């Protein structure tokens, strides 16, 4: 495994975690939404990752990429509010199925994963610099 592959692996992970953070932000922004343009409540989205081989040899190193973004199958949150113009015939309003606590947990996890990959890149850079200094006789 080339030392440069470390940068590719960490970079791919940072890109994937960045997409995860953007998805969490979108979910949180729509947590209290009632109706979207299609007339239905917003459905939370989740990012699905997959490992991918980098380069020609699949056994050398792997990275990560976003396989897909899927909508949550959880039911919409129903709130009884008969005076709301968006209420159905029974007086219930269909709110998004975003779980704010779960999204905050996802945000912290994605942020820490991103930070860990930054540290991996910084450590690899530092090791490369020290290796070059050894070659200079210092």
pLDDT digits (tens, 9 = 90+) for 96-117: 999 999 999 999 999 999 999 9
* pLDDT, tens digit, 9 for 90 and up, residues 78-90: 999 999 888 889 9
CA 6 to CA 122: how far, in whole Å?
11
pTM of the complete model beyond 0.85: no
Per-residue pLDDT averaged across 61-73, rounded?
A: 89
Domain limits, the chain: 3-135
Where residue 132 falls among pLDDT bands split at 50, 70, 90? confident
Phi, psi of 125 (to 5 degrees): -65, -45
């Amino acid at each position: 495994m080339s030392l440069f592959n470390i940068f590719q692996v960490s970079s791919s992970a940072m890109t994937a975690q960045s997409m995860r953070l953007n998805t969490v932000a979108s979910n949180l922004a729509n947590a209290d939404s009632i109706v979207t343009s299609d007339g239905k409540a917003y459905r939370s989205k989740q990012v699905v990752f997959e490992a991918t081989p980098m380069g020609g040899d699949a056994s050398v190193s792997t990275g990560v990429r976003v396989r897909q973004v899927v909508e949550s199958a959880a039911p919409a949150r129903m709130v009884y509010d008969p005076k709301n113009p968006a209420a159905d015939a029974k007086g219930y309003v269909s709110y998004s199925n975003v779980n704010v606590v779960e999204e905050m947990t996802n945000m912290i996890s994605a942020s820490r994963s991103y930070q860990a990959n930054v540290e991996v890149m910084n450590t690899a850079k530092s090791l490369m610099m020290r290796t070059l200094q050894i070659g200079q006789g210092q």
